[in-house]
Amino acid sequence: MPWIRRLIFYLILLSIWEGIVRLEIWPPYLFPGPLIVANALWEGVTQGLFLPATLVSLRRLAIGYSISLSLGLVLGLLLGRNKLIQETVGSLVLGMQALPSVCWLPLAILWFGLNERAIIFVVVLGALFSITLGVEAGVKNTPPVYLKAARNLGARGVRLYTQVLLPAALPAILNGLKQGWSFAWRSLMAGELLYYTLSLGNLLQTGRDLNDAAQVMAVMVMIVIVGVTIDQILFAPIERRVRERWGLA
């Protein structure tokens, strides 16, 4: 069964981790064992630090990702359907996609100051171009026969996009949305490292300032848990339905 194989795999990883700790290559305060990190994680949850910090980070992520999703869908459709925009704006989007989102952080601080708007700005730009390119790829790869058939049946304007083009492009769009989400999550953590309010990124920075590797690792575990949970709750069911609809599952 899959869950048994996963359990065995992670038990092996924990055993290797504990074995490296027992070799005492690094002092315990620099490389704590899994039990110490688990205790730090438990203390962070029970002391009311990790859960409020997670909610703050998720709120910022939701705002930034929603803006990226709205802009990315429109821009991706324009790139996929308009040759002039593709030849001009498309080259810019490709260039911006190659730029790490953390590079926007100094500029965001100069423009907005060290506040919520700067962080959300970085999150938006971290996700926007991946979503845009995913939508563009889906639109371009839609078989022309679908559009011709839809036009023959009377589909025009908005109906052509909502009832034909977007559903046909959904697999590629979904890949862009997932990639955009992962970039947004990473951009958020980078931005929160510099902004001193209660958040997961700030707890990472606090652990570093206190030379508390156990807290740093515990927050990293928390970030992974949140990321995997969102993927399993939000993206995995949609992806499963899309695969079943397209006969890929």
- pLDDT attached to residue 42: 94
Does the pLDDT of residue 120 top 90, yes or no?
yes
Q: Which domains does the chain have, with CATH numbers?
A: 49-245 (1.10.3720.10)
pLDDT tens string 196-235: 788 898 899 888 888 899 999 999 999 999 988 988 888 8
Predicted structure pTM score:
0.86
pLDDT tens string 157-180: 677 777 777 777 788 888 889 889
If you average pLDDT over residues 9-20, what whole number do you get? 91
- pLDDT attached to residue 16: 93
Sequence-distant (6+) residues with CB within 8 A of 3 are none
Q: What is the mean pLDDT of the chain?
A: 86
Residue 198 φ/ψ, nearest 5 degrees: -65, 115
pLDDT band (50, 70, 90) for residue 249:
low
Does the pLDDT of residue 151 top 80, yes or no?
no
Does the pLDDT of residue 22 top 80, yes or no?
yes
- pLDDT attached to residue 86: 84
Give the highest mean pLDDT range of 132-146, 182-196, 235-249: 182-196
Higher pLDDT pick, 171 / 187 = 187
Does the pLDDT of residue 62 top 90, yes or no?
yes
As a dihedral over the C-alpha atoms of residue 18, residue 20, residue 24, residue 27, rounded to 10 degrees, the angle is -80
